[in-house]
A = this chain, B = another copy of it.
Amino acid sequence: MLRVSKITDHGIVILSNLASEPDGSTQSAREIAAEARLPLPVVSKTLKRLARAGILESHRGAKGGYALARSPAEITLADAITALEGPIGLMECSVHLGQCSHESTCTIRGPWQRVNDEIRASLERITISELLPTPGGDGELIPLRVASGDRRR
């Protein structure tokens, strides 16, 4: 299905929730889980990964919690995905060579690489702040800048 992993899914939701808070505010894992209506362990694990990748700041102890390490407009979807499930690579050989059993006979590596780059570029274009409803109006969504005219099937 070309799906991002479940944990990434959760992570994006969490990030967008955090981004809609006044900036710099820290929330505990428990609060975040409640807001996202997700089980605490899952949220906790997700937060840990995001913190380790430097997307979130973590503060321990009482009154501790997590906060965005930088502005939502500076966090791209590619950042989040990479942090949560590793480098973006559609195929095994997209991430580093020598994986596909026999690159010698395979002529499609180059073209695949371009597809990969194109998709990564798409994901790098979108930031967390673009996922939020507009601060003023409720429910209204910021329109995305789509790369080219969208062509449905």
Does A124 touch B at the CB level, under 8 Å? yes
Q: How many copies does the complex hold?
A: 2
Interface size (A, Cβ < 8 Å)?
Answer: 61
Apart from A2-B90, A2-B123, 16 more pairs, CB < 8 Å: A1-B86, A2-B2, A2-B81, A2-B88, A2-B119, A9-B91, A12-B91, A13-B108, A114-B144, A115-B122, A115-B123, A118-B146, A118-B147, A121-B151, A122-B122, A122-B147
| CB contact under 8 A between A85 and B144, given known A38-B101, A115-B77, A122-B119 | no
Q: Which positions 111-146 of chain A face chain B at CB distance < 8 Å?
A: 111-112, 114-115, 117-126, 130-133, 139, 141-142, 144, 146
